[in-house]
Amino acid sequence: MEQKVMDPVLQKALEQFTALDEKITHFSSIIGLTDWDQKVMAPKKGRAIFAKATGTLRTEVFKLMISSEMGVLLETLSKPESAKELDVNTKAKVREYKAYYQKSKSIPADLFQEYSILTAQANDAWEEARANNDFARFLPYLEKIVDYKRKFAEIFGYEEHPYDALLDEFEPGLTVKRLDPLFAKLRESSVRLLERIRGNGKRTKAEIFQQSFEIEKQKAFNRYILPIIGFDLDAGRLDETVHPFAQTVNTGDVRLTTRYLEKNVRSALFGTIHEAGHGIYEQHVTPEFEESILQSGASFGIHESQSRFLENMVGRSKEFWKFFFPKLQEYFPAQLKNVSVDDFYRAVNTVEPSFIRVEADELTYNLHIMLRYEIEKALIAGEIEAKDLPVIWNQKMQDYLGVTPSTDTLGVLQDVHWSFGGIGYFPSYSLGNLYAAQILRTIQKELPDFYSHIENGRFDVIQEWLKENIHQYGKLYTPNELIVKVTGEELNADYLVEYLEKKYAEVYGI
Amino acid sequence: MEQKVMDPVLQKALEQFTALDEKITHFSSIIGLTDWDQKVMAPKKGRAIFAKATGTLRTEVFKLMISSEMGVLLETLSKPESAKELDVNTKAKVREYKAYYQKSKSIPADLFQEYSILTAQANDAWEEARANNDFARFLPYLEKIVDYKRKFAEIFGYEEHPYDALLDEFEPGLTVKRLDPLFAKLRESSVRLLERIRGNGKRTKAEIFQQSFEIEKQKAFNRYILPIIGFDLDAGRLDETVHPFAQTVNTGDVRLTTRYLEKNVRSALFGTIHEAGHGIYEQHVTPEFEESILQSGASFGIHESQSRFLENMVGRSKEFWKFFFPKLQEYFPAQLKNVSVDDFYRAVNTVEPSFIRVEADELTYNLHIMLRYEIEKALIAGEIEAKDLPVIWNQKMQDYLGVTPSTDTLGVLQDVHWSFGGIGYFPSYSLGNLYAAQILRTIQKELPDFYSHIENGRFDVIQEWLKENIHQYGKLYTPNELIVKVTGEELNADYLVEYLEKKYAEVYGI
């Protein structure tokens, strides 16, 4: 085979770009490790000063990403005549850096500075507001954040809806036009399904969980299941924090946290499985992408699909508990010896409308997201005003979930996202569920024994499929490219709707 | 009071220098945290790639420290007319950066590159050599390292002895001329004292320690004593590693490690107290020096003085055990209920010549250092050759300690220092002991109830004195300036000699 000789200018640019990518990724990897450390390990008296140290390194990364060197390299590597000489990996890297570069460069420095100060203050205001059930405390900040986000949307540009410009930050390429029908179908079906469950009068034995489960035993059980479901503990850790998360340092170092509650054995269990879904994804990215921007997952939504797939499609399946329940009974004989695996399976799938998103079950969770999506979209379109949110929030809660929060702390103030300007983030969670159900459909076609593998504890077969078809590619593909490549079609809400119908028919006999 | 107006050029240079110092310190703080993490927390599969990431950040720090910006700033701030306008803190910072800048700049880049590659390879060769008792495996690397170090000594420059140039890296300003008489006196006295102890025939009840001490209880006891002796656990941590160390992130985040051996309760105990001495020093540096190069200790030797002072002068005193032994008995009743505090005190001060420096007692430890000092000095002077070291080593072991190691693994190959080029480092350990004894003399004058405070557990009084007189100053003073400021005189070996004579008279009744 003939070796093509690359244009020397392009060759030089490619080398410089690769070195810059490596440097940025090295620094980001260090920031990832220090973020984990400050949440999990650092003594309290050092954190404020250390935040300044990481601030300096974050600024360094930001400067490199929007440097004139980066600008020139991206221009050279994006020329039409360069395209045919560059491999797909390089093109994906250019795509990622270019998106960030263009967005960052398009915002005037003083506007960005004002916005950064605003969000720092807004976070404090939100914390106070939530603690004191005082929406008015947060409102002026929220109003300003919405104003800035609307300005940014205009600066970034969009084709049809200003919210598209914000969605794009979390799920590149996604638009209101594509999302509206997906979410409408999911919302309508979920509301109907919830009504049927509530009307049917049957209950699960959720009181199984209203017992004490010794925390040391919970820890041992969580550590026991992790390697079995596919998380490599030689390439990661499991620790404890109040808010569980997964943090990647590199593909050989992925750190999970979970939270143990004595009165709620489900919390740590499904928290751990969820974070393991994120972590296994990152452990499986090809070593070829190590030390480059491609070493992470494709998008927020795709990442969430992997955590939800493992937590819900796998971890809340009957087969999962057929395999693991006898072991759980060994750990907790007093609590579980008289419980059947079927009752346990139904109990972990209990549906119960509640005020708080992060405590919601698999069905009602999406309704919490729909509500937030509709509010964000209307705020950015200028159709509603921030001051009216408590009323709008409670009305939608009543419409979709049939419950009304008694305070704003339990309602519109519950989530941190708006306080840091993360408008456009919430849809990722339900996107994750939609992607996960569509992937489930495909994996069941390609591995007809999918549920038998789970029942037999052969998670390796399932993880190998996920690695081969999704995980290994890291950030190589856009989320839309990836879901089409994996499932043969664009995102479709039918699969999640059918999955939920089927599951709750089984759990509640409806 | 009239406010002096600074020359605007100098003012500008001062601002830039302060910003550069802060950036370097921020990055160094991050490197410190990641070094700790990789030794204590990181899963094994991620470490190799992460080493490349920290390598990138280390290179960044090195580039900043020898940047042309730094060069210009140091020149401006070092001008005679600048001196009277700058405060003492700034002058100390300039002194520190200048020393590093001049040394680093004086070595040609290609020479430094060759040397860096050599030491990386030498470390692997040393590990193999030690594992296989194969000095010949390490010899060619050691010969080259000595050659490079002799070249560096010529490049750095010295007044009388080439070894001075290397000593200066660890103990700024120290020379062979000053060190020789100090070490000669200490060596002669220690050899004589050791002979008297061995001749006297009395023994301590060291077999107290030849029992099993449950590791979980050891952990609890170590954690119990730390805050009492002055280490703030809200501004630090205690973890486990094979080789104990102390790592500072900032003054509010100082991390210690220790090693627990079931069959050796002394190992963790005195390891923890030793590292706490280092750690408390760093916790006590004035917040004014936070985020600057002055936030660390004055020198290797002064640092070691603080760890040795706490470990030996305090931690191996009879009064220390009068206070803590009853508590230790509560933790280990089966092992200690029939042991008297006096026997315990004498047992922790057992003298026993051994081959391995890091396991040596307070008396023979210095003889291990004397031997290394004499060898290093002669190597750098070209008076002996590396190939003859096994013979020279064993001869000196016999002369000073009366024992001859049976293998080079237990002899000349035991320490890592030469493999990374750390020639000039060993003297710091005995300097620490010398400084510590001289400080002990002063503190006993200023706090006549010094030992009563220990016996009453009033470590806060002692720590306050150390903070006030030594710790708070960080790197503000050179080691010599500091010891004169604290004790009123230059370093003098008499105090350590007298201290050791007195202690072993008591312990062994000689």
| Same-domain status, B149 and B265 | no
A194-203, A272-281, B436-445: segment of lowest average pLDDT: A194-203
| Same-domain status, B305 and B403 | yes
Number of structural domains (chain B) is 2
Q: Is residue B167 part of a domain?
A: no
| Same-domain status, A183 and A123 | no
Q: Is residue B326 part of a domain?
A: yes
Q: Is residue B166 part of a domain?
A: no
Residues of B in contact with A46 (CB under 8 A): 235, 249-254
Q: What would the pLDDT profile of A335-369 be if each residue is shown by its tens digit?
A: 999 999 999 999 999 999 999 999 999 999 999 99
Q: Is residue B171 part of a domain?
A: no
Question: Is B231 in contact with B280 (CB distance < 8 Å)?
Answer: yes
Query: What is the Cα Rg of chain B in Å?
Result: 23
The helix (H) or strand (E) run that includes residue B255 is: strand B253-258
Scanning every residue of chain A, which has its alpha carbon at the shortest distance from the alpha carbon of B233? A43
| Same-domain status, B321 and B410 | yes
**Structure token pair of residue B269:** 């105990």
pLDDT class for A6, splitting at 50, 70, 90?
A: confident
* Structure confidence at residue A201 (pLDDT): 83
Q: Which residue has the tokens 């220390």?
A: B320
DSSP, residue by residue, A212-265: ---HHHHHHHHHHHHHHHT--GGGEEEEE-SS--EEEEETTEEEEEE--BTTBH
**Structure token pair of residue B250:** 């900032």
Looking at the DSSP assignment, which residues form a beta bridge with residue B261?
B264
Q: How far apart (Å, rounded) are the C-alpha atoms in residues A463 and A470?
A: 10
* Structure confidence at residue A5 (pLDDT): 79
**Preferred mutation among B23, B49, B54, B61 to probe A, highest tally of A CBs within 10 A:** B49
Of A250, A303, A226, nearest to A471 (Cα)?
Answer: A303
Q: B237 and A43: CB-CB below 8 Å? A: yes
Q: A45 and B237: CB-CB below 8 Å? A: no
Q: A30 and B34: CB-CB below 8 Å? A: yes
Computed over every residue of chain A, the mean pLDDT equals 96
Chain A residues with at least one Cβ partner in B under 8 Å: 22-23, 25-27, 29-30, 33-34, 37, 41-50, 52-54, 56-57, 60, 232-237, 249-254, 290-291
CB atoms within 10 A of CB B17: 22
Q: What would the pLDDT profile of A218-257 be if each residue is shown by its tens digit?
A: 999 999 999 999 999 999 999 999 899 999 999 999 999 9
**Preferred mutation among B25, B34, B250 to probe A, highest tally of A CBs within 10 A:** B250
Active site residue ranges of A: 275
Q: What would the pLDDT profile of A69-117 be if each residue is shown by its tens digit?
A: 999 999 999 999 998 899 999 999 999 999 999 999 999 989 988 999 9
Q: B49 and A234: CB-CB below 8 Å? A: no
| Same-domain status, A248 and A215 | yes
**Residue A95: C-alpha distances to residues A62, A70, A289 (Å):** 17, 13, 15
Residues of B in contact with A42 (CB under 8 A): 249, 253
* Structure confidence at residue A3 (pLDDT): 58
Residues of B in contact with A50 (CB under 8 A): 29, 33, 249-250, 253
Q: B253 and A50: CB-CB below 8 Å? A: yes
Residues of A in contact with B57 (CB under 8 A): 26-27, 30, 57
CB atoms within 10 A of CB B39: 17
Q: Which residue has the tokens 């939530």?
A: A130
| Same-domain status, B112 and B190 | no
Q: Is residue B351 part of a domain?
A: yes
Q: How far apart (Å, rounded) are the C-alpha atoms in residues A401 and A368?
A: 8
Kindly report the nearest CA distance between residue A485 and chain B, in angstroms: 30
Residues of A in contact with B248 (CB under 8 A): none
**Residue B346: C-alpha distances to residues B291, B329, B350 (Å):** 44, 16, 6
Q: What is the mean pLDDT of residues A169-176?
A: 96
| Same-domain status, B295 and B355 | yes
Tell me what ipTM this predicted complex has.
Answer: 0.93
| Same-domain status, A66 and A195 | no
| Same-domain status, A364 and A482 | yes
| Same-domain status, B263 and B149 | no
Residues of A in contact with B238 (CB under 8 A): none
Q: B253 and A56: CB-CB below 8 Å? A: no
Q: Which of B127, B157, B187 is the last residue of a domain?
A: B157
* Structure confidence at residue B200 (pLDDT): 87
| Same-domain status, A376 and A319 | yes
Residue A14 in this model has a pLDDT that exceeds 80: yes
Q: Is residue B170 part of a domain?
A: no
* Structure confidence at residue A298 (pLDDT): 97
Q: What would the pLDDT profile of A384-418 be if each residue is shown by its tens digit?
A: 999 999 999 999 999 999 999 999 999 999 999 99
A-B contacts at Cβ under 8 angstroms = 126
Q: Is residue A167 part of a domain?
A: no
Kindly report the nearest CA distance between residue B301 and chain A, in angstroms: 26
Burial of A338 (0-12, 13-18, 19+ CB in 10 A): exposed
* Structure confidence at residue A184 (pLDDT): 97
Q: B46 and A249: CB-CB below 8 Å? A: yes
CB atoms within 10 A of CB B281: 28
Active site residue ranges of B: 275
Q: What is the CATH number of the domain that holds A186?
A: 1.10.1370.30
Residue B44's domain spans which residues? 8-157
**Preferred mutation among B28, B40, B52, B239 to probe A, highest tally of A CBs within 10 A:** B52
Q: A26 and B53: CB-CB below 8 Å? A: yes
Burial of A487 (0-12, 13-18, 19+ CB in 10 A): buried
Of A25, A49, A290, the CB nearest to B250: A49
Q: What would the pLDDT profile of A295-336 be if each residue is shown by its tens digit?
A: 999 999 999 999 999 999 999 999 999 999 999 999 999 999
Give me the residues of chain B with pLDDT under 50, please.
Answer: 1
Scanning every residue of chain B, which has its alpha carbon at the shortest distance from the alpha carbon of A290? B49
The whole-model pTM stands at: 0.94
Query: Strands across the sheet with B246-250, in order?
Result: B236-240, B253-258, B246-250
| Same-domain status, B418 and B456 | yes
Q: Is residue A165 part of a domain?
A: no
Residues of A in contact with B46 (CB under 8 A): 235, 249-254
Kindly report the nearest CA distance between residue B39 and chain A, in angstroms: 13
Residues of B in contact with A254 (CB under 8 A): 46
* Structure confidence at residue A4 (pLDDT): 67
Q: Which of B126, B157, B188 is the last residue of a domain?
A: B157
